Amino acid sequence: MSAALFAGISEQPSVAQDRRGPFTTAPRSIRTREVDQQHIRLDLQFDLDAQAIDGRATIRFAPFKPLKTLTLDAAEMKIVDVERLPNEGEPVALKHRSRKQQLEIDLDRELAFGETTTIAIRYEVRQPRHGAHFVIPDKHEPDQPKMVWTQSEPEYARYWYPCFDSPNDRLTSEIVATAPAGLFVLSNGSLANTTDNG
């Protein structure tokens, strides 16, 4: 028992670096967060044959300091559009760009410390390498049932939805998933309802 407990100990100190290279910042054991993600809603549509996800991530957050540009993790996905959803009035389109597995969003105005706001990101994922895994029949297993499953730990959520992808971030979440007829959706949490879209 003792040997198994100590199998991962090394004589060399190992400290995670902040992900901003070329590692000129002091060593950190966790990533620095610029915002507090409070809630995320994922609206997802799956095409199992194409191994594709069309999604909309609605994220409510508050910055830890004045913020003009929001940076999220978003790897190998196409960003269709980004909007800020005000409490009243119409959504506001936001400029954005993808860089090195991240999504940079230019907010329409600077947010103050602690000012809660909500953005919505429409995106497309095609044949993801990580995060979402599609299982479909093929010539080797023609009777294989179709399914898709996700694995977001430790940092694979970025491959199937845009977010601040770090285990040190805690937030509430909800998922609205549309699955092909004959399949069902299974997730953590409580099932609110199901709808047959015909």
Residue 66 sits in a domain whose CATH number is: 2.60.40.1730
The strand pair at 52-63 and 35-47 is best described as antiparallel
The answer to the question of residue 25 being in a domain is no
- CA 54, 176, 92, 89 dihedral sign is positive
What is the rounded distance in angstroms from the CA atom of residue 33 to the CA atom of residue 70? 11
What pLDDT sits at residue 25? 60
Instruction: Enumerate helices (H) and strands (E) in the chain, giving the number of each.
Output: 1, 11
What is the rounded distance in angstroms from the CA atom of residue 133 to the CA atom of residue 93? 31
The answer to the question of residue 110 being in a domain is yes
SS3 category, 133: strand
- For residue 143, the enclosing domain spans 33-178
Do you find a cis peptide bond into 66, omega within 30 degrees of 0? Answer: no
**Per-residue pLDDT for 131 more than 90?**
yes
**Per-residue pLDDT for 20 more than 50?**
yes
The answer to the question of residue 135 being in a domain is yes
What pLDDT sits at residue 15? 46
What pLDDT sits at residue 154? 86
**Per-residue pLDDT for 32 more than 90?**
no
- Confidence class for position 118, pLDDT limits 50, 70, 90: very high
Question: Residue 107's closest CA among 80, 79, 75, 71?
Answer: 71
The answer to the question of residue 12 being in a domain is no
**CA dihedral of 60, 61, 62, 66, whole degrees rounded to 10:** -110
What pLDDT sits at residue 69? 98
Span 147-164, average pLDDT: 93
The answer to the question of residue 173 being in a domain is yes
Number of domains in the chain: 1
Span 58-63, average pLDDT: 98
The answer to the question of residue 195 being in a domain is no
Question: Residue 116's closest CA among 143, 85, 92?
Answer: 85
Span 81-96, average pLDDT: 95
**Per-residue pLDDT for 57 more than 60?**
yes
Cβ of 162: how many Cβ atoms within 10 Å? 27
The answer to the question of residue 191 being in a domain is no
Write down the H helix ranges in the chain.
2-5
- Confidence class for position 160, pLDDT limits 50, 70, 90: very high
The answer to the question of residue 189 being in a domain is no
What pLDDT sits at residue 23? 56
